Structure 1
Amino acid sequence: MASLQRIVAATSSAAIRLAAFVFLRWIPGHHFVPLVFTSLVVYLSSITSLTWGSQPRTRQTNKSQTDKNSRKPVADPAQTGDSVFKTLLGGLPHAKSRWLTYTTVVINIVLTLLCFDFLTRGYLFYPNDDISFSRIGHVSSTTANLVFREPDTAHLPVTVSYQETEENSGSWYEQGMVYSLDNSTDFTVAVTLDNLKPSTSYRYSLSNNRSGTFITSPRPKSPEASRLSFVTSSCLKPNFPYNILSHPLRVPGIEQMTDVLAKLPKLLRPAFMLFLGDFIYIDVPYRFGSSMSHYRSEYRRIYSSPSWSYGSAENRAIDLPWLHTLDDHEIENDWSQGNKTSPYPEAADPFIHYHVAANPPIPSTPFAEPHNVTYFSFTNGPASFFMLDTRTYRTEPAQEHSTILGHAQLQSLLTYISTPEQPGIHWKIVSSSVPFTKNWHVGTTDTWGGFMNERRTVFEAMWRAERDLGVRIILLSGDRHEFGATRFPDPALNLPSNELQPNSPGLGLHEFSVGPLSMFYLPIRTYRQTDNEDVTVKYAPQGNSKFGIIDIVDDLEDVDPSAEAPVPVRSSVLTYSLYVDGAAVWKYRLSVPLDQDPVVHASLSDSAKASRLPSGRVLEDNIPELGLGIAIGAAVGRVPELAKWALGKSQDVYFDLLERLQKAERLS
């Protein structure tokens, strides 16, 4: 029978190895940090006792006999059952070989050191107080927002200049000079380049040797305004999955995205990145503090990543305009305590200086004081955008009067949805840091699933707008480290059950939720359709790097491909392409007819006539549906739901039995 010390040694060794694997390659959760280090202390104590504590203590008079005894095993191998396999994999000492014992001990120590390296190398050795960088944010047809950081006063004042990239004269236009920068903004400043030409490529230059390029958006109603491409994702963490040979601030997902975009035809290059939250992870893998300086240092570390300059000079990620929304890991996990409670004020400071300063303008009707608004609206080509803030104004979820947007933002969103768009704009795109769908059954209350009354109000306004305004509304979200495409059919359509089946294209508001750009994913399947309100179109959980590319263009589209004689109609066509680990795996198409005549309308199905919008359709699908791993993951994903159901049933039985007993007692 194994001794207690051997059981402790084997258990602590298994804890180190399993926790280290999960921490470094699967999920860098903060719970694993104390588990690994505590397990190592327990393991070293028990292995020391087993290896040296049980040796004979009687004094040896014969030196040769002493040397001989020192090489003896502690116990008989036949009694302990020692083997090379058990020693190296189980972490137990070997009775015959000290070398094997030392090797298995070193394995556990090295695994712990790797965890320590992942945890601290970036934090300790890359505070990057002296980082200098520049980036482009929102770009309109005549302006471009530029943010840069310069902590070295020797480079002040900083002159900001720009020129058209195709000009051969070499003439530069000076936008202005920045004379002072200080710690109040972490040495950052935002500058707006103006008087620019639409659909024109520019380069900017700063006198501190920072430079970059950008392209202005097309002039509204111009022929170029019928096309738009952009990329969207969420969630990134440097050097994950962990690689000891990698730079601690390298972001593999950014580099994969850069490679993909560089291969696209010039016409399909995205105009911007719509990044939907969790740009930093202040609490993953471990929160070192909650002060403003801690939050600022996380932004500096991300912007110090070598991945921003990865690839050729013409395709750097830092030259792609990035637009940002706020989510919980930029504050605290599952944050719902408002914008006054600490650490929100400390977290909001760098988010405002690094991101909000370069974001699009606030809505024209914000229903709040402009300086308190952190939701944004803009137009680019054939689409208008409303970027929601689902963290700053939310209250506790799953309550009678819970709000995820707050009154002012909700009214601003409803006004945006109900307002007719200018000619040439056929899409309203609403972005949220968390998914609208309630099909995710773990952490549901942290999404719109915890605010169902407000979701219903928003959806009713969207369905009404699609019926009355001749536009199509698309929902974009992130947060879940998985991809889920969901549609929300308008109840007024009274769709038959065959058009509400899971994993089917069709009618309805469409949501595309994607992430992470570079982070962990869960092999446990937690997304599934449970009713006819949220209809699954596609679910793809695998992949440490996932992003979507949205391309909108005028084209001929069969408005009802299922008809016996499909009729091509000039339409604004949106194609969503999902990329997983650098490869395109799924494509989906939606359209808005632009010149639908009575003959074409008569050829549509009844549901298509009622909606005035054609059904979505899958163009490409390379995502596996079946497999043992997927089946196991789906089964494990249902454990929390089944446990909740069992607990509810147990409570029902208990209270029913109690009521029966009380009734019997009253009768007696």
Structure 2
Amino acid sequence: MVSLRSVVAISSTAIRLTALILLRWIPGQPFGPLVFTSLVVYLSSLFPLIREEQSDETRREKGRPRPTKSKPASDSAKPADSALKTLLTGVPSARSPLWTWTTVIINVVLALLTLDFLIRGFVLYPTTHATFARIGYISPTTANLVFREPDLARLPLVVSYQDIASQSPEKWVEEGIIYKLDNSTDFTATVTLKNLKPSTHYRYALSNNQSGTFLTAPKPGSPEANRLSFVTSSCLKPNFPYNLLRHPLRVPGIEQMTEALAKLPALLRPSFMLFLGDFIYIDVPIRFGLSMSHYRSEYRRIYSSPSWNSGAPDHRAIDLPWIHTLDDHEIQNDWAKGNKTAPYPAAADPFIHYHVKGNPPVPKTPFAPSDNVTYFAFNHGPASFFMLDTRTYRTEPSHENSTILGHAQLQSLLTYISTPEPPGTLWKIISSSVPFTKNWHVGTADTWGGFTNERTKVFEAMWHAERTLNLRIILLSGDRHEFAATRFPDPALALPQSQLQPNTPGRGLHEFCVGPLSMFYLPVRTYRQTDYEDVLVKYVPEGNSKFGLINIAEEVEDLEPKSSAPVPVRNSVLTYSLYVDGAVVWKYRLFVPLDRDEAGLASLSDYERALRLPPGRVVEDQIVDHWGAVVGDAAGRIPEVFKSVVEMGIGYYDYLTDRVQRA
């Protein structure tokens, strides 16, 4: 039978361990209830144990002989030992009531901090009166303005804009007047600012005192269209890691990103944020409901964060255009039940009003009714973009006919991949909320690794496009709270195994998966290369805040810098810079040569055409592996080893059963 002392020690340890994990490491669903359950067990066992300890101490005192002068040191040492044991285990000591109550207070305070983390933002900031305005998709002549105004006394709302360079009060242009806002859209609306000039800084203003700035996209074919800078990330949760003194809606990662971007030279300032899902966490660390109002309130809380306006007035995060894709935590963890099953309809409502309405247009050939499409396509400078929705149309993974895109979206993507781009557009950038690589060995089925047949079909189209369209395809993804760069070599290259080893830059389609912008990360390493199809370029799991800065510009580069006679070549160069906790830690470059004759392209073999794109190159690497990497890698292999042991045991059991039946 378990003694009271053991129950108190175990429950006290559980309070401290689970509270630490929840508040500083992983805000998972089980940990909050475990803290409070352990506290109930601890307190209900503590007081009977205190009475028992006091009774035992009283009996010992009555039967103890009078101490002699030769033993003072021994008696004085016991209370100190008891105090340390009490503080560490939570077990009370009749000799040290001060330390007994100190350890009780520690455990109660940890539970109160847990409660504060779970409910302070939800209870104190319902944000029903939240007001904000932000810019979404921008083109050379338009900009989508999304705003919310629940105070109907401020209607009608007048929306205006002006060229910042003019600085003249009479130069304001009235775009429109909003006469009606209601609960059907959660009091949000989207207005498209039109008749803008390319590559021009504008200021917008609403009559409810909301205002901001933005820069329009360059005109195709102009010198400004040769370059582009933007940022990408995924996954954010306010006030994590938890800080009692921090505003519960502050998002540390947004503030770190804003500070880092403000230090960049003007040419490298990003034109937009490509945010790849998990903008809200409806189910982490606790789900308060499944109704549409609960989903709406989570969006309002994020947009009510003071982090959007942190930093210098001319570098606010709210002034950076954000473009969004959908992922599982905006619906439910690992969602794969389509767009009709609850809670998807309730989850989709605020995503449409807050994000889709401000997003780019749907592809020219969506292969579905355009009012039912949540995947997007657009051009900006030297790149074209296709933003996938890998949640709305997917089926259950790991079946022969599983689909992550659905038929209409897959056909639209394949059409996009095979369509030539206009002159000057040298990069096709395809974004997915989940990784393409199957190198992640935890949650693999939730990624493209659970839809390998469809992945193969898409990759074959991409490899063919790179050989024939004089451009390069880049894959961007999120979801994982880690960074990984992976390349997928074209089989036509027939690369030797020496060029397919882990941690090697080189040729192939490249994927950059990054996250979280502000959330937990796993010290357990779950990403490993297991074959020569998905080649590990770089893996960085550490960091509560990670984002990628992508810069495309024309430069003259020596594509073979180690050769005896390097030849400078004019290229369109894509530089990927990984930021971890606000600092650049890794840079990688990819090239599209510009000075080359395409006249004889049709006569080349697949191998010769595939070789036209130079290998990638690491230009900066400040990541240093330490002993934690070895431990993390070993811990990450435990589930795989356990699975292998179970499968081996089942196989051995089947073998023995078969032998018995034969006998």
Per the normalisation by structure 2, the TM-score is 0.95
* Contact kept? 2:79, 2:95, Cα under 8 Å: no
Tell me the residue number matched to 1:69: none
CA distance in 2, matches of 1:450, 1:151: 43
Tell me the residue number matched to 1:532: 532
* Contact kept? 1:608, 1:614, Cα under 8 Å: no
Matches within 5 A, 1:463-612: 463-596=463-596, 610-612=610-612
Deviation at 1:415, TM superposition (A): 0.1
CA distance in 2, matches of 1:563, 1:3: 73
Tell me the residue number matched to 1:238: 238
CA distance in 1, matches of 2:80, 2:443: 46
CA distance in 1, matches of 2:608, 2:590: 13
Matches within 5 A, 1:358-437: 358-437=358-437
Query: What one-letter code is carried by the residue in structure 2 that aligns with 1:574?
Result: L
CA distance in 2, matches of 1:615, 1:112: 53
CA distance in 2, matches of 1:102, 1:225: 68
Deviation at 1:77, TM superposition (A): 10
- Provide the secondary structure at the position in 1 that maps to 2:651: helix
Tell me the residue number matched to 2:27: 28
Tell me the residue number matched to 1:638: 637
Deviation at 1:338, TM superposition (A): 0.3
* Contact kept? 1:13, 1:108, Cα under 8 Å: yes
CA distance in 1, matches of 2:504, 2:53: 67
Deviation string 1:333-360 (CA, Å, 9 cap, x unpaired) is 0000000000000000000000000000
Tell me the residue number matched to 1:248: 248
Deviation at 1:564, TM superposition (A): 2.7
- Provide the secondary structure at the position in 2 that maps to 1:403: coil
CA distance in 2, matches of 1:430, 1:306: 32
- Provide the secondary structure at the position in 2 that maps to 1:83: helix
1:89 to 2:88 alignment: yes
1:285 to 2:322 alignment: no
* Contact kept? 1:362, 1:373, Cα under 8 Å: yes
Deviation at 1:99, TM superposition (A): 1.1
- Provide the secondary structure at the position in 1 that maps to 2:337: coil
Query: What one-letter code is carried by the residue in structure 2 that aligns with 1:462?
Result: M
Report how many aligned residue pairs link the two structures.
644
Deviation at 1:79, TM superposition (A): 10
Deviation at 1:609, TM superposition (A): 6.3
CA distance in 1, matches of 2:328, 2:527: 20
Tell me the residue number matched to 2:448: 448
Deviation string 1:569-595 (CA, Å, 9 cap, x unpaired) is 111000000000011000000010011
Paired-residue identity, %: 70
Matches within 5 A, 1:242-321: 242-321=242-321
CA distance in 2, matches of 1:545, 1:505: 25
CA distance in 2, matches of 1:608, 1:513: 29
Query: What one-letter code is carried by the residue in structure 2 that aligns with 1:250?
Result: R
* Contact kept? 1:366, 1:408, Cα under 8 Å: yes
* Contact kept? 2:575, 2:589, Cα under 8 Å: yes
Q: 1:569 to 1:608 in 2, by over 3 A?
A: farther
* Contact kept? 2:198, 2:217, Cα under 8 Å: yes
- Provide the secondary structure at the position in 2 that maps to 1:244: coil
Tell me the residue number matched to 1:71: none
CA distance in 2, matches of 1:496, 1:597: 28
- Provide the secondary structure at the position in 1 that maps to 2:384: strand
Deviation at 1:81, TM superposition (A): 10
Q: 1:18 to 1:608 in 2, by over 3 A?
A: farther
Deviation string 1:37-75 (CA, Å, 9 cap, x unpaired) is 000000001111111255559x99xxxx9xxxxxxxxxx
Matches within 5 A, 1:143-154: 143-154=142-153
Tell me the residue number matched to 2:66: none
Q: 1:631 to 1:607 in 2, by over 3 A?
A: farther
Deviation at 1:559, TM superposition (A): 2.6
Deviation string 1:205-262 (CA, Å, 9 cap, x unpaired) is 0000000000000000111100000000000000000000000000000000000110
Tell me the residue number matched to 1:161: 160
CA distance in 1, matches of 2:330, 2:414: 27
CA distance in 2, matches of 1:135, 1:567: 46
CA distance in 1, matches of 2:296, 2:446: 25
* Contact kept? 1:225, 1:382, Cα under 8 Å: yes
* Contact kept? 2:53, 2:94, Cα under 8 Å: no
Deviation at 1:561, TM superposition (A): 3.0
1:48 to 2:47 alignment: yes
Matches within 5 A, 1:170-181: 170=169, 171-181=171-181
* Contact kept? 1:608, 1:615, Cα under 8 Å: no
Deviation at 1:610, TM superposition (A): 3.9
CA distance in 1, matches of 2:450, 2:649: 24
CA distance in 2, matches of 1:82, 1:296: 54
* Contact kept? 1:24, 1:242, Cα under 8 Å: yes
- Provide the secondary structure at the position in 1 that maps to 2:536: strand
Deviation string 1:412-465 (CA, Å, 9 cap, x unpaired) is 000000000000000000000000000000000000000000000000000000
Per the normalisation by structure 1, the TM-score is 0.94
Q: 1:3 to 1:662 in 2, by over 3 A?
A: closer
CA distance in 2, matches of 1:618, 1:129: 48
CA distance in 2, matches of 1:656, 1:77: 66
* Contact kept? 1:276, 1:479, Cα under 8 Å: yes
- Provide the secondary structure at the position in 2 that maps to 1:650: helix
CA distance in 1, matches of 2:208, 2:151: 9
Structure 1 portions without partners, runs of 5+: 66-75
Tell me the residue number matched to 1:131: 130
Query: What one-letter code is carried by the residue in structure 1 that aligns with 2:640?
Result: E
Deviation string 1:298-320 (CA, Å, 9 cap, x unpaired) is 00000000000001110000000
- Provide the secondary structure at the position in 2 that maps to 1:52: helix
